Amino acid sequence: MKTQNAARGHALVLGASMGGLITARVLSDHFAQVTILERDAVTAVPQSRKGQPQTRHLHGLLVSGLETLTRYFPDLPDALTKNGAIVADMAENMHWYTYGGFRQRLHFGANAALMSRPLLESLVRQRTLARPNISLCDNTAVRGLVTSADRTKVIGVEVESRGESAQHERLSADLVVDATGRGSRTPQWLTELGYTAPAESAVKVDVGYATRLYRRDPDDPFGRDWLLSTPEAPKESRFGGLFPIEGDRWIVSVGGWAGDHAPTDEASYLEFIRSLSNPDIYRIISSAEPISDILAYKFPASLRRHYEQLERFPQGLLVLGDAISSFNPTYGQGMSSAILQAAALDKILTQNAVAPELLARTFFKAAAKVVDIPWQLSVGEDFRFPQTTGPKPAGVDLINRYVAAVHRATRFDEEVGRAFLKVMNLLEPPTSLMKPGMMWRVWQANRAHPRNSPSEQTPTQETSVVTA
């Protein structure tokens, strides 16, 4: 990667979660010094922080996210494997029940990763901080932006250390990147400086789920499989996922849309799992040893801030990751979206053809292109439920009828399944599913296997086993 350290001085990254870490790694190729500021205490071991409630729940790293991270950290896949994560062809160990049956397993030719979010973040953090020009200041809260006298340029931040004795200081920077997540204060800071806050799109989904860890027998026939049960909306609203993670553990997250949330008492929790269409999740969990409490998480709405639409924005400030767009987490797109946004920033800085005063506008347009696909995918699926409210894309009902046919076709046609997984992994746009040849395959699969045929029946435990 081309280094522009001589041309740029100090960059500050606000937030040490995945978006902040990969952003710091990217900026280290372009700035002499990069400092990450994190409100919470950061430990050397994999651990969820107070400001990361979602990290205790089920996560997977999509193919696009893993491939991009590996460009910046070439040894990351090996490190994940050595620490007990599963890095493998994501379609060969897929056990996914949806729309009346299991999607066909196939050779996808690209790896995804299954692990706990704290493990992934810990390994990325180690490698990020190993860069000689990156440092981390934890227990440090950012109180506001520091600007030039005319407020056209951000030149630093006001911080407060959160240790034994609170200390206030001002840190100077040539670039500040807000990667603090959904709770970003940049909209408020903008209005305080006399700018317009970005318009927001909020799609209310009322998703809630509950998660528990179980002991896993790696010799179990399903011991390296990831199991999913996703609903045929709107007649079904419940979902569940069971992923193998490091430490010979299973992590299971189950819940639903539109207020159909999983309970947290043990008997009701197991009964909720039993109600899922994929019976193997309950079969495995009902005989596994629980090794954690049941933790609940609620996600009221997907939120997108349209920074790309702003006419005025201060120089020296950017916003990235969940601070731009926070998706319904059931689709597993958040980490990969942030990673791809950071890669887009890297491309812009490497070309070195954008004037500093145009950097924000250029980046926000590039980030919007990254966000468009996962936003379209998640919002489109969420609007299958009549209870979902918010700005509804034109034609989404018609598109959803076709995508439902795609879902059913993935159970019978390997090529349709491969095309669907490319879109899901943010490798191809959704329009790739609408090419004439693909639409023909979808039609043929649905014609050969009409709905309510015997193949649409919920499988028994004996008939549900799928071989690779």
Q: How does pLDDT run across 350-401, given as a tens digit for each residue?
A: 998 788 999 999 999 999 999 999 999 999 999 999 999 999 998 999 999 9
pLDDT at 452: 63
Calpha distance 287→281 (Å, rounded)? 11
Is there a contact between 28 and 10 (Cβ–Cβ < 8 Å)? no
Number of residues assigned to the chain: 468
Share of the chain above pLDDT 70, in %: 94
Average pLDDT over residues 418-423: 97
Is there a contact between 377 and 334 (Cβ–Cβ < 8 Å)? no
Asked if the model's pLDDT at residue 4 lies above 50, the reply is no
Identify the CA nearest to 402 among candidates 441, 452, 458. Answer: 441
Is there a contact between 136 and 44 (Cβ–Cβ < 8 Å)? no
Phi-psi region of 99 (alpha: psi -120 to 50; beta: other; left: phi over 0): left
Calculate the dihedral angle through the C-alpha atoms of 400, 401, 406, 407, rounding to the nearest 10 degrees.
70
For residue 220, report the phi and psi dihedrals to the nearest 5 degrees: -60, 140
Is there a contact between 376 and 430 (Cβ–Cβ < 8 Å)? yes
Domains and CATH numbers, the chain: 5-59+117-199+306-379 (3.50.50.60), 204-300 (3.30.9.90), 396-456 (no CATH)
Is there a contact between 404 and 99 (Cβ–Cβ < 8 Å)? yes
Is there a contact between 445 and 416 (Cβ–Cβ < 8 Å)? yes
Asked if the model's pLDDT at residue 165 lies above 80, the reply is no
- Global pTM exceeds 0.85: yes
Is there a contact between 468 and 432 (Cβ–Cβ < 8 Å)? no
Is there a contact between 184 and 319 (Cβ–Cβ < 8 Å)? yes
- 325 pairs with which residues across the strands? 304
- Among the residue ranges 37-46, 151-160, 318-327, the one predicted with the least confidence is 37-46
Is there a contact between 104 and 148 (Cβ–Cβ < 8 Å)? no
pLDDT at 164: 66
